[in-house]
Chain A
Amino acid sequence: MAKTVVIDPVTRIEGHAKISIYLDDAGTVEDARFHVVEYRGFEKFCEGRPFTEMAGITARICGICPVSHLLAAAKTGDKILAVKVPPAAEKLRRLMNLGQITQSHALSFFHLSSPDFLLGWDSDPAKRNVFGLIASDPDLARAGIRLRQFGQTVIELLGARKIHAAWTVPGGVRSPLSEEGRQWIRDRLPESFETVNLAIGLFKNLIDNQLQDEVKVFGSFPSLFMGLVGKNGEWEHYDGHLRFTDSQGDIVADHLSEDDYPKFLGEAVEKWSYLKFPYYKPLGYPDGIYRVGPLARLNVCNQIGTEAADRELQEFRDRAGGVPTSSFFYHYARLIEIVAALEQIQILMDDPDIVSSRVRATGGVNQLEGIGVSEAPRGTLFHHYQVDENGLIRKVNLIIATGHNNLAMNQTITQIAKQYVHGPEIAEGMLNRVEAGIRCYDPCLSCSTHAAGQMPLHIQIVGSDGKLVNEVYRN
């Protein structure tokens, strides 16, 4: 008898989602789907607001990566003002994004995903969380928490608060870094480098030994990759142009401007999820599957541009034996990006511009449409606004990083389910692996409302006649 196994909610991700696994009569996995079951509605209720408020409003989309929205909204606002932001403002915006990449990646690795690697997929779910990690390896947990604190404090030093700092504005930023702030960052950098190097060493050892199978099964498939790159094809997180590469590392499209995204990105919808399914238009839906985020950024760039990160990037590519295409490498890529972010923060600390007071260009409504892009920790983020002649928002389109990865996430959980889930008895550890497939992408589905330490799970076994055969809740 055919069955459906439902994982609801998916835990240790940011937001609310569930997974359905469809089994055939023999109990073999046919398909799996990742359903995003929440609806936020920002695109609609921003209509009618002044475009200058968009950074403050859209930052509220998320408590983990509000900086991404602050940047994308401000960059879209720059286009509507038709001004060039002062150099100091650009560097300060970059600094805040680097702080965010550090804190968000540290959260994903240490708090959300490492309990699986370090405590085991099949370990007691009540302890398979950051508190379990604190109990089993307090030094590592403390180091990870302090690394996240470092990134959060960089954001706070600039924007006066860690979360939802309404600091970026169309035309620049509201204030520079203080000298005290610069000193604090300098003082904490060595410890942050030490922590990320410890984590990289640990993770390399795991994928070379215990986690070899995960690399093969957790989203290992060919796809395109999309991300921003700089003028010389280097790793980029704030500006530059868009590039698509394939699984062989060949460039499929390059020098793309965010202004043209409707030409190369399509958005499909499925009735079973609130999350749209973007695809690369020239290949159609669903063949135009592409991935964004840390793995994609490392795959599309020629080099990172800083010494330690470039060394790690080379080793990363060597270890994968070519282009790393397994989504399990997202975790590895995240750690390398922390190294890159810390190195770039270090460079910025010596830049006199970051304490300059010339940080805000002003102007009126000089263009009625603007598209802004930034690299959020989870991938490329687009904000697209249309305004009236007074600057009131007429239309908003937001393409969030997690959306780009929607097709890939579905393919990943199907691959994992086929490997590990066999009916009719479903072990908890099997399902945890499927959830972990989603965690590779560190999806950000909302303002992070999951409760750490509790892992509620709801499994429904539905017969081919649609009747509920069995239902299990775990609270």
Chain B
Amino acid sequence: MSVKTLKIDGIDIAIEEGATVLDAARQAGVPIPTLCHLDGVGDIGACRLCLVEVGGSRRLLPACVTEVAEGMEVQTNTPKLQEYRRMTVELLFSEGNHVCAVCVANGHCELQDVAIQVGMDHSRFTYRFPDRGVDVSHEQFGIDHNRCILCTRCVRVCDEIEGAHVWDVAQRGAACYIVSGLNQPWGEVDACTSCGKCVDACPTGAIFRKGSTTGEKERDRAKLDFLVTAREKHEWTR
């Protein structure tokens, strides 16, 4: 296995070939905000929060899906990136209907955490107030599309870890939304095993346990790590 050496924010790093810039940054202790990335499932570069500047590239590149290369020089926190990240989070807020005060994830929400991380104190963009629905047809869980940021963690965790592939994405552009089964009410999807991994994976309050009230949603992320380790390394310890 060959090793690549690179610099992230001036820090020299050596990491195995095939690793991503995000892996390298984490190994070096350089924080890069993320939303769609979830340890244990594949990356898709959807949220654009982990954009970094790479020497020699005119474009900004998402750290989660950019492989390290020999001699790479990466900047993770330039004023340009700070401004882009803040704008990205503002757009996420203005795109959906995020009412933190009454949300099940209030205080345990990664979108809130990232907003604080990037210094967003208000949105400069006009809120769209889209007309989106809530599906609570499942016996145990519900999905509130108002709070969905289309990170597709639920899609990937259900497909890659549970193997049920209940979730997918329908439509295009601003009309995109997460569907269960063949665009059926969640409660009618036979493929769903009611495992709850999507609840644990969801960064916001979009997917929740029914009956949860303001701020009650807490996740068991360790369970996802446990399952990935069990599958890949055949180790069943938590």
Does residue A188 face the partner (Cβ distance < 8 Å to B)? no
Does residue B134 face the partner (Cβ distance < 8 Å to A)? yes
Contact present for A391 and B136 (CB under 8 Å): yes
Q: Which stretch in B43-51, B174-182, B205-213 binds the other chain?
A: B205-213
Q: Which residue of A lies closest to B144 (CB)?
A: A50
Does residue B184 face the partner (Cβ distance < 8 Å to A)? no
CB-defined contacts of A49 to chain B, threshold 8 Å = 134
In the complex, what distance in Å separates the CA atom of A174 from the CA atom of B102? 16
Which listed residue (B102, B136, B142, B210) contacts A56, Cβ 8 A?
A: B102
In the complex, what distance in Å separates the CA atom of A392 from the CA atom of B137? 10
Most-contacted residue by chain A among B137, B139, B211 (CB, 10 A) = B211
In the complex, what distance in Å separates the CA atom of A164 from the CA atom of B215? 12
Does residue A397 face the partner (Cβ distance < 8 Å to B)? no
CB distance from B114 to the nearest CB of A (A): 23
Which listed residue (B102, B134, B213) contacts A48, Cβ 8 A?
A: B134
Does residue B222 face the partner (Cβ distance < 8 Å to A)? no
In the complex, what distance in Å separates the CA atom of A56 from the CA atom of B214? 6
CB distance from B65 to the nearest CB of A (A): 36
| Known contacts A390-B137, A391-B136, A392-B136: A52-B212 contact under CB 8 Å | yes
Does residue A158 face the partner (Cβ distance < 8 Å to B)? no
Does residue B216 face the partner (Cβ distance < 8 Å to A)? yes
Contact present for A56 and B134 (CB under 8 Å): no
CB distance from A109 to the nearest CB of B (A): 30
Q: Which residue of B lies closest to A56 (CB)?
A: B214
Does residue B101 face the partner (Cβ distance < 8 Å to A)? yes
CB-defined contacts of A53 to chain B, threshold 8 Å = 102, 104, 213-214
Count B interface residues, CB 8 Å.
17
How big is the A interface, by class? 10 to 19
Contact present for A166 and B214 (CB under 8 Å): yes
CB-defined contacts of A57 to chain B, threshold 8 Å = 102
Does residue A464 face the partner (Cβ distance < 8 Å to B)? no
Q: When each residue 199-238 of chain B gets 1 if its CB lies under 8 Å from chain A and 0 otherwise, what string results?
A: 0000000000011111110000000000000000000000
Contact present for B136 and A390 (CB under 8 Å): yes
Does residue B173 face the partner (Cβ distance < 8 Å to A)? no
From 226 to 266 in chain A, residues with beta carbon under 8 angstroms from any chain B beta carbon are none
In the complex, what distance in Å separates the CA atom of A185 from the CA atom of B215? 26
Contact present for A174 and B216 (CB under 8 Å): yes
From 162 to 209 in chain B, residues with beta carbon under 8 angstroms from any chain A beta carbon are 187
Contact present for B137 and A56 (CB under 8 Å): no
Contact present for A164 and B101 (CB under 8 Å): yes
Contact present for A60 and B134 (CB under 8 Å): no
Contact present for B213 and A56 (CB under 8 Å): yes
CB-defined contacts of B139 to chain A, threshold 8 Å = 364
Contact present for A166 and B211 (CB under 8 Å): no
Contact present for A52 and B101 (CB under 8 Å): no
Which listed residue (A166, A174, A362, A392) contacts B134, Cβ 8 A?
A: A392
Closest 7 CB pairs of A and B: A166-B214, A56-B214, A56-B102, A390-B136, A57-B102, A169-B213, A52-B211
